[in-house]
Amino acid sequence: MAEAGGVLVIGADGAIGEAVAARLEAGGARVVRTSRRGTAGSLPLDLEAVPATWTPPPGIASAVFCAAVTSTDACRDRPEQCRRVNVDATLDLGRRLAAAGARTVFLSTNMVFDGSMPCVPATAPRRPRTAYGRMKAEAEEGLLTLGGTTIVRLTKVVGRTLPVIERWRQALGRSEPIHPLADLVMAPVALDFAAAVIAAAAREPLGPILQVSALADVSYAAVACRLAARWGYPADLVRPQTVSASELTLEHVPLHTTLDGSAVRDRLGLQPPDPWAAIDEVA
Ligand SMILES: NC(=O)c1ccc[n+]([C@@H]2O[C@H](COP(=O)([O-])OP(=O)(O)OC[C@H]3O[C@@H](n4cnc5c(N)ncnc54)[C@H](OP(=O)(O)O)[C@@H]3O)[C@@H](O)[C@H]2O)c1
């Protein structure tokens, strides 16, 4: 049964935070949003400068942590600054929420694993290979010790678009070739699907770890080929390349990104989706 009480959405301006807040409100929940950029109707909260006196608003039953530095490059290049947000402030707020009797829902990532095996079980040991993944793993561990925490691990969440997809579309629109990576994979899930799971975890306790993943990985090159065909651009403008031939300096290239999503299926009746379902929702 769903709990009475409001839901605090920390970082409600982000892609997932906005979708989760909207879904909860559509279901009748009282939602309190936070923003670091002064969004009207949101409580101000910057995780780089949480006031020592900050306490959760009254009547909050659960809080969803959507605020984080999500750029893997930023976490690699500015680890101390990003760690203050992604680990220190997150755990600090988690402790204050627990002290006020609120449950915590924390958004994490497949990148807490090393990507050496597909469909990783939720209980597998964490083996992050990137600074971002290490920060998420540390925050997961710390929040789980507080009790009343649900970690929601997500693979690639795809809404109406993604920055990389926008870059492809614009280049193709100028009749320029694109060079998507053939050896980098994603297990895309639609934003609506991810938001449904996160909102459910905010409404009622669903156990310590939920994993939201597509059933299989697809390469960025395969995604680009499918979208280019759907948008009506010539196939020969899509020229896949490997990570090593690209200008990218990735910390780690996982072989697999899928997670075992059986807990979501068993507890919520939501089947882990086919990866193309999310790509076919791209505008
Ligand atoms: N999207 C995915 O594919 C994916 C996959 C796995 C896990 N996740 C996790 O899901 C969560 C949400 O991701 P998202 O895709 O919605 O990311 P996003 O669109 O980049 O949103 C991140 C939010 O965090 C806020 N934020 C960043 N630094 C902050 C600070 N110092 N204080 C307060 N707020 C701060 C941002 O504020 P501004 O809006 O003001 O910049 C933004 O609203 C993150 O924890 C991410 O690691 C996402």
- Top-tier CATH class for 6-157+190-214+259-273: alpha beta
* pLDDT score, position 161: 87
Whether the CB of 159 sits within 6 Å of ligand 1: no
Instruction: Tell me the whole-structure pTM to 2 decimals.
Output: 0.97
How far away, in angstroms, is 12 Cα from ligand 1 center? 9
How far away, in angstroms, is 65 Cα from ligand 1 center? 9
Residues forming beta bridges with residue 190, ordered by sequence position: 158
Residue nearest to atom 18 of ligand 1 (CA): 14
How far away, in angstroms, is 239 Cα from ligand 1 center? 31
Residue 269, judged by CB atoms within 10 A of its CB (0-12, 13-18, 19+), counts as exposed
pLDDT, average across residues 75-88: 98
Whether the CB of 213 sits within 6 Å of ligand 1: no
How far away, in angstroms, is 137 Cα from ligand 1 center? 16
pLDDT, average across residues 204-226: 98
Give the gyration radius of the chain's Cα atoms: 19
How far away, in angstroms, is 11 Cα from ligand 1 center? 7
* pLDDT score, position 3: 55
Whether the CB of 47 sits within 6 Å of ligand 1: yes
* pLDDT score, position 2: 46
Residue nearest to atom 35 of ligand 1 (CA): 67
Residue 4 predicted with pLDDT over 90: no
pLDDT digits (tens, 9 = 90+) for 90-142: 999 999 999 999 999 999 999 999 999 999 999 999 999 999 999 999 999 99
Whether the CB of 95 sits within 6 Å of ligand 1: no
How far away, in angstroms, is 71 Cα from ligand 1 center? 9
pLDDT, average across residues 172-177: 98
Of 135, 70, 68, 60, the closest CA to residue 104 belongs to 60
Residue 193 predicted with pLDDT over 70: yes
Pairing of strands 103-109, 31-35: unpaired
Q: Across the chain, what does the average pLDDT equal? A: 96
Residue 227 predicted with pLDDT over 60: yes
* pLDDT score, position 1: 40
Residue nearest to atom 11 of ligand 1 (CA): 66
pLDDT digits (tens, 9 = 90+) for 239-265: 999 999 999 999 999 999 999 999 999
